[in-house]
Amino acid sequence: MKAPKTLLWVNVIGTVFVALCCFTPVLVILLGVVGLFALTDYLNSVLLPALTIFIGLTIYDIQ
């Protein structure tokens, strides 16, 4: 039964990554360096639901 542990770690890593991108300007700086700064307007509409989904999946996997 190794799959549930693996899924839990994927959810935890996804949650940390999305939280890091939501609450720090890491993604904005990276998009600016690459030349895709115009996409920063859409980050909140993508990152906040992704954060909610990853937190929900992590809580579901813990139980």
Query: Does the model's pTM come out above 0.85?
Result: no
Question: Average of pLDDT values for 6-12?
Answer: 84
Question: Average of pLDDT values for 3-7?
Answer: 73
Backbone Cα Rg of the chain? 14
